[in-house]
Structure formats: structure tokens, C-alpha cells
Amino acid sequence: MASQVSKRNVRRAVVASALAVGALTATAAPAAADPITIPGVGTFEIPGVAIPPLPELPQPPGIAPPAPVQTPGDRAVSAAESKLGAPYVYGASGPDSFDCSGLIQWAYKQAGLNIPRTSYDQASAGSAVSQSDLRPGDVVSFYGGSHSGIYAGNGNVIHASTSGQPVKLAPISSMPFDGARRY
């Protein structure tokens, strides 16, 4: 209750001050009534008081927004995307042909991180991530950890699947999900 009374008294004082200023300036410059807005109080019309328009302020020079920060996972996805269509070769780890874990290791090496070579070791290193919390760059394990891919976002993984199949983008749901790790 006391705060309401003090707010009301402040508003009255501000309005009275605005009216007094209006009375002083009304004799100096009679003009059409323009409303006066007092932030937090309200808008008032004071007869005979014209408020000149504010000069237009120069616009500050454009400031470029900060560049988005790329995680090692983002960079690994970009590297893996550059190898879409590369041939599958058992035991290969790039740069021209890959097996599943070789592709993941190579992609992360391009991102500046050294991760384990085999799919089983990749499935046990890094930090565990739930399927509902996947982010691009997470290493996804399938078939009990015997196959790995890199999560590319939008429900897809990039992986080197098997002999005769090139590195490709596939729905994560096309294989039995076993787990995921974040590096």
C-alpha cells in the first residue's frame, strides 16, 4: 500500500513539473498542443506547448555479427561430407578410401582431434550421449559397437557401410542404434 501511495505521489510531482514547464514555455512559443510522454507515467497534452522534433541521429556503422563457433564435431562432419562417394575398403583410414571407423578417425583428425581407430574403441571413448541429445559430430555406434558413423544432423549419419558401397549419408534409423559418444 505504501509503495502505491509513493508511486502516485511521484506521478503527481512529475505531472505538476511538466505542467509548470509548459506554463513557462507556453508564453515563449505558443503552438499547437503536442502530447508529452513521460516514461512510466503516461502521455499528456499541454495546451500551447509544442515539442520540437528530435534531430535525426547518425546511424552507427554496421557491425558484423560474430562468426558462428564451430565445434570439433562440426568440423569433423564437414570433413566426412567431403568424402561422400569415396570407396569402402576394409581397414582403410583415408584419405581416398575408408572403412567405417577409419572414416570417423580421419574426419576427426581433420578437425584437430585424435580419436581411437576401431569402432569398438570409438564406442567406449569420449562422453556418452543419448540418442535424443545427438548433435552433429557425435560418433554413433550400431550393431553392438561393430559399426560406427558420424551424426550429420536431421536424423542422418555419414558412414562407410560395407564393401561395394561408397561413403554415404543414411537415416540413423536404418541401422540398430547401439549408443553414441561425443568427443
| Residues known to be catalytic | 100, 147, 159
- Is residue 67 within 8 Å of residue 143, measured between CB atoms? no
Distance, in Å, from the CA atom of 180 to the CA atom of 59, rounded to the nearest integer, reads 49
Give the distance between the most distant pair of CA atoms in the chain. Answer: 94
Concatenate the DSSP letters of all residues of 82-111 into one string.
Answer: TTTTPPB-TT-BSSS-B-HHHHHHHHHHHT
Instruction: Quickly count: other Cβ atoms within 10 Å of residue 61's Cβ.
Output: 5
- What sign results for the dihedral spanned by CA atoms 82, 104, 159, 93? positive
19's grid cell: 505542467
92's grid cell: 582403410
